[in-house]
Chains A and B, each alone.
Chain A
């Protein structure tokens, strides 16, 4: 700690008055940077900081007069630069060195903990052994943030990741406070989501296309059928099972969307397992309707309802959240009309159904009518398929939905 004293601002000056503190406790201070304004009989001066560091304590309040030599402030000298363990830069991006204390002099000692691609890829023997033991893929690895120097992935980081990977739904592990400021602690779910999102965007080249769907027939049908369905089945008939059914038909017609990319070739999945995103308190969870192609609309409704209930109760099992080959997302419940969802690897696509909004559209030649319109937004893996297949898929889904009638069996 370094003591800052009231300077003698003139030959015969014996005291000075603190006029204005230019820095507050906790602020970084550069050497020679203005620290405080002082008024004396002769001179009004800005007193520069005698050294670099953090202003720890103000000893004399503004407006107070003290004699020359009185301690007016305490500065904590900067020693080794603070290491802010911010999430590491992705391996594919160029290295971005982070200067530790903004505005502080760079100390003569070891330079600030620079985040670098090199720091991340330098794996210690212990880390390598754990990666092998737990079969962590390169894709997963790129999503693990490093808490060591320079963003280094430490043994503990791997161990934490492995623990969370095993239980995506459970809340486990402790949080670690990091860096300057007071961040909100991350829940395991948030961590997992973050990690998956990063991994997805880093490895899958996303492309996005939208189809407008006239849902009027579906809307009408649902309005008519829901009460009877509720009475008979005890659950609501939402749009979800109908959309899922449409998606299943679409996937049957354009199966390339029900596939996964691998270095050895595109893997076409036999089963159609549709993940249906459910929002829960802390984030998002995606339970899976397995073999959705074998279920009727009512069947889909039942399964979806059960999964959603259990999701909200935190009662999903591991099989419930595994094995999806395609995902349907329903952001429209909150009114959004266009959404860009992020694909859940190793799937090849994700379909967002946005809000059904009544709009004036052109029908039957040139007439204007009010119809219930919905946008279907498809994000797809451009390695696996091109825009043509994506468009054809959407066309299939759209046509099925627009052609909806009482003829389509619910059961």
Chain B
């Protein structure tokens, strides 16, 4: 099986979906001629032409609003927001419109659209090219939110998102674009939305993560194994609808859970995961639930010292995991 990077997997996913279904098109800033600022759509403009790979004006509300309109009228748009940090101007269209179309028409309308956005830090992107947005949008009923961490999952979930009848926010961790390589199966390889994945089995404690933190947690699990601690790593993959069964299963299996995310702490996804475990697996707990997250500051600063202080890293995750193991 071929090894690909996350960005290659995403590009392939889009290409294959556009080839398979003529109603699929891409719209966003710089996606056409340039192939995207991260080259996510490199080559697609040439292949599919200007009506299926559309260079939009610099207007996020426009990108999403037009995508909504196209989805109303029989198309399956992929709207790219250049950086998750810039999604705010489109909030009105996403939250008030896209998320509610199906509910407010009691199912008469539905929007089969995807909003793709690179997120996350560790790339010296500073305050406005490093943010995590999954918690904000996961809170909105009517949206689906996915955050793959591996190439196979990125491609598979992108296909699932395109084929999904509802609006899907597809979050691609920009640090994983070229950093994370993996096997991507040939053929359709659709990964279902709403299903987490045990990336590594274990029995002493559970690490629950997604995005870049998944890669870090796998590294941590390897180091823990050398110390005789068997860590299970659960990759959420989908933030909403969250895989409650998988979360509960791993908590019941090990009794010790550490949730890791890059996003700021307060009301981040870890809070929801921990609430789910408390509600459904309390009697299986052998230690208090723990989380390791980004700090509650507005965003990740530019200076590398500050950026490193912000981002959870392998050493910190390892230390916290050991603390949990020793409880």
A residues lining the B interface (CB < 8 Å): 83, 124-129, 148-149, 152, 154-155
Q: Chain B interface residue count: which class?
A: under 10
Asked whether, in the complex, the Cβ of A125 is within 8 Å of the Cβ of B285, the reply is yes
Which positions 122-169 of chain B face chain A at CB distance < 8 Å?
none
Asked whether, in the complex, the Cβ of A125 is within 8 Å of the Cβ of B284, the reply is yes
Asked whether, in the complex, the Cβ of B255 is within 8 Å of the Cβ of A149, the reply is no
Taken together as a complex, chains A and B put the C-alpha atoms of A74 and B282 apart, in Å, by 46
Which positions 215-258 of chain B face chain A at CB distance < 8 Å?
255
Which positions 265-307 of chain B face chain A at CB distance < 8 Å?
282-287
Asked whether, in the complex, the Cβ of B286 is within 8 Å of the Cβ of A124, the reply is yes
Q: Which B residues lie within 8 Å of A126 (CB)? A: 255, 283-286
Whether B1 is near chain A, meaning CB under 8 Å from some CB there, is no
Taken together as a complex, chains A and B put the C-alpha atoms of A37 and B327 apart, in Å, by 42
Query: Can you list 24 A-B pairs, Cβ within 8 angstroms, ordered by A?
Result: A83-B326, A124-B285, A124-B286, A124-B287, A125-B282, A125-B283, A125-B284, A125-B286, A126-B255, A126-B283, A126-B284, A126-B285, A126-B286, A127-B286, A128-B283, A129-B283, A148-B326, A148-B327, A149-B326, A149-B327, A152-B327, A154-B286, A154-B327, A155-B286
B residues lining the A interface (CB < 8 Å): 255, 282-287, 326-327
Report the minimum CB–CB distance from B196 to chain A (whole Å): 22
Q: Which B residues lie within 8 Å of A127 (CB)? A: 286
Q: Which A residues lie within 8 Å of B286 (CB)? A: 124-127, 154-155
Taken together as a complex, chains A and B put the C-alpha atoms of A243 and B303 apart, in Å, by 85
Q: Which A residues lie within 8 Å of B283 (CB)? A: 125-126, 128-129
- With most chain A CB atoms within 10 A of its CB, the pick from B282, B286, B327 is B286
Q: Which B residues lie within 8 Å of A155 (CB)? A: 255, 286
> Chain B: which residue is nearest A110 at the CB level?
B323
Q: Which B residues lie within 8 Å of A154 (CB)? A: 286, 327
Q: Which A residues lie within 8 Å of B327 (CB)? A: 148-149, 152, 154
Report the minimum CB–CB distance from A178 to chain B (whole Å): 12
Q: Which A residues lie within 8 Å of B284 (CB)? A: 125-126, 129
Q: Which A residues lie within 8 Å of B255 (CB)? A: 124, 126, 155
> Chain B: which residue is nearest A85 at the CB level?
B326
> Chain A: which residue is nearest B251 at the CB level?
A126
Question: A-B pairs with the 3 shortest C-beta distances?
Answer: A126-B286, A155-B286, A126-B255
Q: Which B residues lie within 8 Å of A149 (CB)? A: 326-327
Q: Which A residues lie within 8 Å of B285 (CB)? A: 124-126
Taken together as a complex, chains A and B put the C-alpha atoms of A52 and B8 apart, in Å, by 52
Taken together as a complex, chains A and B put the C-alpha atoms of A124 and B283 apart, in Å, by 8
Taken together as a complex, chains A and B put the C-alpha atoms of A125 and B277 apart, in Å, by 13
Q: Which A residues lie within 8 Å of B287 (CB)? A: 124
Taken together as a complex, chains A and B put the C-alpha atoms of A154 and B286 apart, in Å, by 7
Taken together as a complex, chains A and B put the C-alpha atoms of A197 and B285 apart, in Å, by 31
Taken together as a complex, chains A and B put the C-alpha atoms of A284 and B283 apart, in Å, by 38
> Chain B: which residue is nearest A158 at the CB level?
B286
> Chain A: which residue is nearest B204 at the CB level?
A156
Taken together as a complex, chains A and B put the C-alpha atoms of A177 and B326 apart, in Å, by 14
Report the minimum CB–CB distance from A364 to chain B (whole Å): 71
Report the minimum CB–CB distance from A21 to chain B (whole Å): 32
Report the minimum CB–CB distance from B315 to chain A (whole Å): 13
Report the minimum CB–CB distance from A377 to chain B (whole Å): 44
- With most chain B CB atoms within 10 A of its CB, the pick from A125, A127, A128, A152 is A125
Q: Which B residues lie within 8 Å of A83 (CB)? A: 326
> Chain B: which residue is nearest A155 at the CB level?
B286
- Other than A124-B255, A125-B286, give 15 A-B pairs with Cβ distance below 8 A: A83-B326, A124-B286, A124-B287, A125-B284, A126-B255, A126-B283, A126-B284, A126-B286, A127-B286, A148-B326, A149-B326, A149-B327, A152-B327, A154-B286, A155-B255
Report the minimum CB–CB distance from B232 to chain A (whole Å): 15
Report the minimum CB–CB distance from B215 to chain A (whole Å): 27
> Chain B: which residue is nearest A174 at the CB level?
B228
- With most chain B CB atoms within 10 A of its CB, the pick from A124, A148, A152 is A124
> Chain B: which residue is nearest A79 at the CB level?
B319
Taken together as a complex, chains A and B put the C-alpha atoms of A127 and B285 apart, in Å, by 8
Q: Which B residues lie within 8 Å of A124 (CB)? A: 255, 285-287
Q: Which B residues lie within 8 Å of A148 (CB)? A: 326-327
Taken together as a complex, chains A and B put the C-alpha atoms of A126 and B326 apart, in Å, by 15
Taken together as a complex, chains A and B put the C-alpha atoms of A83 and B287 apart, in Å, by 17
Taken together as a complex, chains A and B put the C-alpha atoms of A125 and B285 apart, in Å, by 6
Report the minimum CB–CB distance from B297 to chain A (whole Å): 23
Taken together as a complex, chains A and B put the C-alpha atoms of A124 and B288 apart, in Å, by 9
Taken together as a complex, chains A and B put the C-alpha atoms of A155 and B204 apart, in Å, by 10
Q: Which B residues lie within 8 Å of A152 (CB)? A: 327
Taken together as a complex, chains A and B put the C-alpha atoms of A152 and B285 apart, in Å, by 14
